[in-house]
Amino acid sequence: MADPIDPAPGPEPGDHTKPAADPRRWLVFNGDADGICAAHQLRLAGYAPHNVVTGVKRDIGLLARVRARAGDQVKVADISLDANRAALERLLAAGVRVTWFDHHFAGTIPPSPGLKAHIDTASDTCSSMIVDALLGGRFRRWAVAAAFGDNLHAVAGTLAATAGVDTAELQALRELGELMNYNAYGETVDDLHVAPADLFARIADFEDPLRFAAADAFVPCLRAGMAADMLLAQGIAPLVADAATALAVLPALPWARRVNGVLANELARAHPQRAHAILVQTERGFVVSVRAPLARPSGADTLCRGFAGGGGRARAAGINDLPHADLGRFCDAFQQHFGGSTGS
């Protein structure tokens, strides 16, 4: 069967005949809005995997779980190639065909005939938009929801205008994308309202994300959960706050682990000239979410890669496990890195 991205994209729009799941096909994706929406677009385009690998947002070393054999196909969405390099090289050496769709730092892309890499690290794109462009916009509303989830609100609005989305639909897509993204944050799946693999299964029958939002209990459930978590977060005073940077520390509680990304995005929109860091306490130290100033959306990934377990993209990045002993070094680096910003 032809690759659903190149050259033949699968069933025609409106054709709801589902191809049988192929045991030689794998689909690996981040459990946030962007990863799920990118993977769903591939599925809608005709790629029917038997093997699905996903997890919480910060579970990015997903390729290590893939036990594919020579001739198998693996499609990867919204996780860093650089963070999965060893597993990728193992699969390529075994004769596995891999196609990668991503917008995170990739490092050097292995020169292998078994790898197709669709990677764009520009600050104004996301993995779902990369897939959307390759599919000619066939399932664009999912890409719009994903862009909202990735805090690309202006880009999402522009993209929506090309898909005939009206004002009410735009707001519904924004809410869905933000809720899908909120749902991905947690130390383990137990912290989440809906496991990413379960959410991916629940959207399987929906070509239109708004039909899913209207038919499934996901939106009202997550709407209530996010509102409750944000109410708790608003009571946290920042540890550092000035014209250029703001940093807050949240407690080691499930609500804090769920809300840290949404809180960072909301603060970034409210104060576009300021960089933000949200730290959530753990037994070992902190999980860190960093947002570059929206007015100058770059540098977050560079900062976070300076610490073990750090990575991400130019406008939004994080550190999975910052030891207590490195808190002072991180605070200094954060303020020095973004200290040139002005305004509030």
Taking only the tens place, the pLDDT of each residue in 168-206 is 999 999 999 999 999 999 999 999 999 999 999 999 999
Q: Do residues 217 and 80 share a domain? A: yes
Find residue 286's DSSP bridge partners. 281, 322
Cβ(152)–Cβ(133) under 8 Å? no
> For the chain, which residues score pLDDT lower than 50?
1-2, 4, 6-15, 341-344
Q: What is the pLDDT of residue 87?
A: 98
Q: What is the pLDDT of residue 210?
A: 98
Find residue 285's DSSP bridge partners. 323
Q: What is the pLDDT of residue 24?
A: 93
Distance CA 222, CA 53 (A): 23
- Sheet order of strands, 245-250 included: 240-241, 245-250, 275-281, 285-291, 316-323, 310-312
Q: Do residues 42 and 151 share a domain? A: yes
Dihedral of alpha carbons 79, 84, 87, 90, sign: positive
Structural domain contains residue 160 = yes
Structural domain contains residue 156 = yes
Q: In Å, how far from its chain's centre is CA 252?
A: 22
Q: What is the pLDDT of residue 328?
A: 95
Q: Do residues 199 and 265 share a domain? A: no
Structural domain contains residue 17 = no
Name the nearest CA neighbour of 145 among 116, 120, 180, 110: 180
Distance CA 91, CA 115 (A): 10
Q: Do residues 193 and 242 share a domain? A: no
pTM of the model: 0.90
Cβ(192)–Cβ(36) under 8 Å? no
Q: Do residues 58 and 149 share a domain? A: yes
Q: What is the pLDDT of residue 21?
A: 82
Q: What is the pLDDT of residue 238?
A: 84
Q: Enumerate residues 6+ apart whose C-beta is below 8 A from 24.
A: 50, 68, 69, 71, 72, 73
Q: What is the pLDDT of residue 235?
A: 87
Q: Do residues 195 and 295 share a domain? A: no
Q: Do residues 298 and 201 share a domain? A: no
- For the chain, how many structural domains are there in total? 2
Q: What is the pLDDT of residue 291?
A: 96
Give the domain range for residue 70.
Answer: 22-221
Structural domain contains residue 264 = yes
Distance CA 337, CA 303 (A): 7
Of 179, 198, 221, which residue is a domain's last? 221
* Residue 161: CATH number of its domain: 3.90.1640
* Residue 293: CATH number of its domain: 3.10.310.30
Angle between helices 127-134 and 153-161 (to 10 degrees): 20
Distances (CA, A) of 277 to 177, 303, 318, 344: 22, 11, 9, 15
Of 157, 187, 221, which residue is a domain's last? 221
Structural domain contains residue 242 = yes
Q: Do residues 216 and 268 share a domain? A: no
Residue in this structure with the two tokens 């996301």, named with its chain if needed: 126
Name the nearest CA neighbour of 264 among 295, 306, 233, 220: 233
Structural domain contains residue 227 = no
